[in-house]
A = this chain, B = another copy of it.
Amino acid sequence: LGEFGRIDRFFRPLAAGFPGARGLADDAAVFAVPDGQELVVTTDAMVAGVHFLPGESPADVAAKLLRVNLSDLAAMGATPYAYTLVTVWPRGLADDWVADFAAALAREQALAGIALAGGDSVSTPGPMTLVITAFGMVPQGAALPRCGARPGDEVFVTGSIGDAALGLLVARQALSVPDDAARHLLARLRRPEPRLTVGRGLRGIASACIDVSDGLAADLGHIAGESGLVAVLEAAAVPLSPAARAVVDQDPGLLALVLSGGDDYELLFTAAPERRPAVAALAAASGVPITGIGHIAAGPAGRVDVRDTRGAAMALARRGWTHD
């Protein structure tokens, strides 16, 4: 179909109903930002063979690509507004793949209540590379920073941690688990759930927030570093799914992977102890579990002290993905 043909056939429909996209017919999109709101802008790229396994389905690739970007909006406390898409297609890619990818994006954008605003499409002699820039709105001054943690703040995390890292082992056939556990872990790897409702609810509650994409310990290190403080992580408090719990019970050595592996896309945040009731209310209202897993203290900026079940220091071999 060629570049223009694919855009016309597969991607123009994704822009329908969003006037700012101008039908993908102009040099640029135009966003109207309401008075009192700010626009939140985030971008994440995925390269075949680096960020997703070759042979991954177009639907899974589309879902992950949009969801990891939405997760960044969630971490800022933003409400999704629109997104742009850059597709770098390998030569000889079948139009069917593109059609399935676009169909999945249509479902995903509908779930988020947003539309495609624009983008670019080029070809490459190398691997497929996909870039989404996602846009969201926050009330002026309400965006959640990474740098706002204070000594004494508690550290919280949504959902459960480690499923994606274990799912990657399953996908690579490096970990054998029962079928239902495999399904759960792979789904968590491929279809992370952006915690948008919790993110919005954390405005005015969280002192710092980040999504877990580099790994729990590494991302907690980002909060600690940007805040100029130390974070203490209680390994025993970290919430695991039943599937992950069973794996770690069988091989306790995998706990380090759970704490350092990336890609869970849960929200990791800090809040003053007196906000604990507000955090509990948000968990109840959103239906998303939120668990206290540590606290913030004075000390060398960015250090993360991981404590094991007995309170002893625990070394993590690997402080998370570097996205290389």
Binding site for B on A (CB under 8 A): 2-4, 22, 25-33, 35, 38-47, 49-51, 72-73, 75-76, 78, 84, 86, 88, 117-127, 129, 131, 133, 135-136, 138, 140, 143, 145-147, 210-211, 222, 226, 322-324
A50 and B4 in contact, given A33-B39, A118-B41, A145-B22 (Cβ under 8 angstroms): no
Known pairs A45-B120, A88-B45, A124-B126; A210 contacts B27 (CB<8 A): yes
Bound form: Cα–Cα A84–B86 in Å:
13
Q: Are A30 and B138 in contact (CB under 8 A)?
A: yes
Contact B123 A43 (CB under 8 A): no
A25's closest neighbor in chain B, by CB? B226
Given contacts A50-B124, A126-B127, A131-B45, contact A146 B25 (CB under 8 A): yes
Other A-B pairs, 6, CB within 8 Å; known A28-B143, A124-B127 = A28-B40, A31-B41, A44-B120, A50-B124, A50-B125, A123-B324
Beta-carbon contact of B41 and A29 below 8 Å: yes
The residue in chain B whose Cβ has the minimal distance to the Cβ of A117 is B41
Question: Contact: B32 with A140, CB < 8 Å?
Answer: yes
- Jot down 14 A-B pairs with beta carbons below 8 A, ordered by A: A4-B322, A27-B146, A28-B75, A28-B78, A31-B33, A31-B41, A41-B117, A43-B84, A46-B122, A122-B324, A124-B129, A125-B126, A126-B126, A129-B129
Q: Which chain B residues border A33 with CB–CB below 8 Å?
A: 31, 33, 38-39
Cβ–Cβ < 8 Å partners of A129 in chain B = 88, 124, 126, 129
